[in-house]
Amino acid sequence: MKLQNPKIRLFLLVLACAVVFSIQSLSLAQKDAQLATEPITSPASQLLAQQNGQLIITQVNREFQINLNETAILPDENIWVKFTDITEDSRCPINVQCFWAGRAKIVVNIWKDSQNTGDFVLTTGGGNPALAVQNFDSNYNIKFVDLQPDPISGSETQKSAYTAALVISKTTDKI
């Protein structure tokens, strides 16, 4: 059968493109669903699974929230980040007027490709936003965006109440 009618050829071309696009979209959706439900079995995950805490799945250039003793994983990059400690919180309490905004320092432990790259102290505040970014690998940065809850004068925040906002990016990306 010859398809000499240009309208029929165009219709079939558009139909074929739509079918291919639908199949690719379905494949990506299935991959995302699989990432969320599949157990992660790398050597680093086995070590981290022995520790208490929740596992958070995230991606490069996406801000994520992580509580103390929780672990975040970027499966596509094989990066694991565990929020291990708060070493300083001198931020100005929300119910006080301060001359200095203060700063917060946290410690994260990072694994890349099943290798422990070490503990990194991340600082936010203190009037120097450059302190919030730490290069932990020749190809990656981690940025400390925020720490919650804000301090309140007259009350001490329990370490277990802290949540850090972080972003991991490739060094070629701007964060």
**What pTM was estimated for this model as a whole?**
0.68
Same domain, residue pair 15 and 66: no
- Asked if residues 116 and 101 have their Cβ atoms less than 8 Å apart, the reply is no
Q: pLDDT by residue (tens digit) across 129-168?
A: 666 677 888 889 999 999 999 999 888 899 999 999 999 9
Domain around 34: 1-38
Phi-psi region of 28 (alpha: psi -120 to 50; beta: other; left: phi over 0): alpha
Same-domain status, 21 and 63: no
Say whether both 29 and 83 belong to one domain: no
> Are residues 71 and 44 in contact, defined by beta-carbon separation less than 8 angstroms?
no
Amino acid at 7: K
Q: Residue 142 in contact with residue 123, Cβ under 8 Å?
A: no
Token pair 């009350």 is at which residue?
155
Domain-located, residue 161: yes
**What are 32-62's pLDDT values in tens digits?**
544 444 444 444 454 544 444 578 999 999 9
